[in-house]
Structure 1
């Protein structure tokens, strides 16, 4: 498998002779409001700090994150994006078999393979709109499996599990001695993330690892910033058996501002959740009007679409839209998906209208 993800602006620009700045990127699920101004100003005013080493293991930021989540600092590992922790977990835990629920984020499987682990696929069915059958999954868990990855909300389907549902799964995993990794990369786009997050379960279950990403909600994928929350013993291993400077100075600075409890950051998060909820509703309703599209109910800042009733496969539709400088996510690289699924990020009203108008020209 290759590292296939959205946001490949340079590749698209070169292929279609476009200026990358002219492309409307619906392929990467990033907050369309852009980074908070407070964060950008801080980075600009601290450019001279580039000559200094970042703080080893991001200790100050770790303390701020722990305070935010009412945890001990020893339960937090700050990372160069949540993806770093996915690979670090398989490196440290050395699982023999990893279960992945497909279709989902491809790096779980790639990380398992990088640690020479076998991968067992629990495939979601198109017949039930790719919704997870929790009871069937529990039955599938056995002592042959060492590690289970769950993306909540799932990428690309956006299916969402409540905390109580996940707890029942974690309880079964405890009996089978399975570590459960719950990736909450997109959960903070929800207006009620606490209803679905498992952070409140951390002190009750020693087999739980939670991954968090700052790059999506705060629109800083170029910086790379995420973290893992787990028990103190595993957290110590994740931290000590890697590069102590994996998180650069500006990422640390951004994180400290994000977790500084300043009113401007709180307002930014609230505004983001409200704006994205409004635009998600608008874009979903407009897409539903296309008779040849099956549009799945979105929960976060992206929408999953079946285009099998159109005259295009996902690669062809992506290429047609690229002629109009619009980049979408072709989902044919996801395990358990064919070449008739796409994913589009929720953007601002102007961009969303442009996408709808171009789709009308192409599909109607």
Structure 2
């Protein structure tokens, strides 16, 4: 079975599959967002606003970050490539395992890549050794995902700040992926977003895909510590980086101020129930605080779950998670979905394990 590059590829399977491979809000796309897309239909025969003024102003109102620090794009992955293209680092440090687009974008820019590998024996938590590597490595860019994908583990604000200062001392620009921070209870203990305008060497990546379940509309943004960095990223954009339907959806989504709290509570409750069930079945789980759970199995699960019409993310193609099947190491990531759907996957896993033991 070919391992997918990303989650969410439901199109290759005949019939309906229950998709636990894509980490979207279990509440689904908000009705206000759907209505905004429909209401704007008469505008779609015109070209989009190349400056994305309404969208940037909406992001400014939501985040408190000035519009001259904001860049918008066709999803977070689009912005990854544009950020790398804007600064063309010669040598970068990438904390792995992580979303594959970072490595691919760096390779496209012919950048030398060093890897800081999160260790299972440390629960995939980031340790302080990264500070010394940044200060001696001669890097132009350091890339870190918090909460990490696929582990779901965020980095404490104190440690993030130490890493930022190490980057500043060594002359490295830091890119922090916070696309899943919207699902973290106690976000204020992890994010540096409120201070972004005072951090000139930092860029924070955000996405509408996850919280607002807008994966098909493709919309993301980044917040740059300096207007000069934002200008550089914007200068690498195509003329119309955001479609009008996506912009309409994003503007509507940003008015839903109660959605984050509602989602965080739901995800936290369902995540803990899922983790408890997985532990009860004998799987090894880690300290995810996002809307997905990363775990280790002693048997391969993805093909067996497909027989139950369940799609999960096999993580063995992440750098640093190649695993050792001969030693019973298979790494997977599953989304936190609705209570009914979560119960279904646990029943399916229970049946699979029961059959394996016979």
Bucket of the pairwise TM-score, normalised by the shorter protein:
over 0.9
Q: Give the match for residue 8 of structure 1.
A: 9
Q: Name 1:130's counterpart in structure 2.
A: 124
Q: 2-side partners of 1:143 and 1:9: how far apart?
A: 41
Correspondence for 1:361: 351
CA contact (8 A) 2:179 2:206 kept: yes
Displacement after TM superposition at 1:295 (Å): 1.3
Quote how far apart the aligned CAs of 1:139 are. 0.6
**1:318 alignment counterpart:** 302
1:259 alignment partner in structure 2: 254
CA distance in 2, matches of 1:105, 1:81: 14
Indicate if the aligned counterparts of 1:57 and 1:78 stay in contact, CA closer than 8 A.
no
Deviation of 1:244 (Å) = 2.2
Is this contact kept in 1: 2:147–2:290, CA < 8 A? yes
Matched with 1:337 is: 321
Is the partner of 1:131 in helix, strand or coil? coil
Q: 1:144 aligns with which of 134, 138, 141?
A: 138
User: C-alpha separation between the residues in 1 aligned to 2:188 and 2:122?
Assistant: 26
Q: Does the 8 A contact of 1:57 with 1:239 survive in 2?
A: no
In the superposition, the TM-score normalised over structure 1's length comes to: 0.91
Question: Residues 201-280 of structure 1: matches in 2 within 5 Å?
Answer: 201-230=195-224, 231-260=226-255, 265-280=256-271
Q: Secondary structure, in 3 states, of the residue corresponding to 1:342?
A: strand
Q: Which residue pairs with 1:303 in the alignment?
A: 293
* 1:77–1:238 CA contact under 8 A, matched in 2: yes
Other structure's SS at 1:67 match: helix
* C-alpha contact (below 8 Å) 1:66/1:75 kept by paired residues: no
Contact 2:21–2:313 (CA under 8 A) maintained in structure 1: yes
Q: Distance in 2 between matches of 1:294 and 1:121?
A: 25
Tell me, in whole angstroms, the C-alpha distance in 2 between the residues paired with 1:219 and 1:267.
Answer: 15
Deviations 1:63-118 (A, max 9, x none): 22123222221000011111111111111101111111111111111110011101
Q: Is the 8 A contact 2:10 2:17 kept in 1?
A: yes
CA distance in structure 1 between the partners assigned to 2:286 and 2:237 by the alignment: 40
Who is 2:326 aligned against? none
Once the two structures are superposed, residues 275-300 of structure 1 have per-residue CA deviations (whole angstroms, 9 ceiling, x without a partner) of 11111111111111012x11112201
Point out 4+ residue stretches in structure 1 off by more than 6 angstroms.
Answer: none
Please name the residue that 2:342 is paired with. 352
Question: Within the alignment, does 1:191 sit opposite 2:179 as a pair?
Answer: no
Distance 1:217 1:119 in 2: 31
Q: Which runs of 5+ in 1 are unaligned?
A: none
SS at match of 1:353: helix
Q: Whole-Å Cα distance in 1 between the matches of residues 115 and 6 of structure 2?
A: 20
- Name the CA distance, whole Å, in 2 between partners of 1:120 and 1:295: 27
**Distance in 1 between residues matched to 2:197 and 2:220, nearest whole Å:** 20
| Secondary structure of 1:242 counterpart | coil
Q: 1:282 aligns with which of 270, 273, 276?
A: 273
Give the distance between the partners of 2:75 and 2:305, measured in 1 at CA.
Answer: 30
* TM superposition shift of 1:3: 7.8
Rounded Cα–Cα distance in structure 2 between residues aligned with 1:25 and 1:253: 27
Please tell me whether the aligned partners of residues 28 and 213 of structure 2 are also in contact (alpha carbons under 8 angstroms): yes
In the alignment, is the contact (CA less than 8 A) between 2:91 and 2:111 conserved in 1? yes
Q: Distance in 2 between matches of 1:3 and 1:62?
A: 33
**Residue 177 of structure 1: aligned partner:** 171
TM-score norm. by structure 2 comes to 0.93
Residue 143 of structure 1: how far off its partner (Å): 5.2
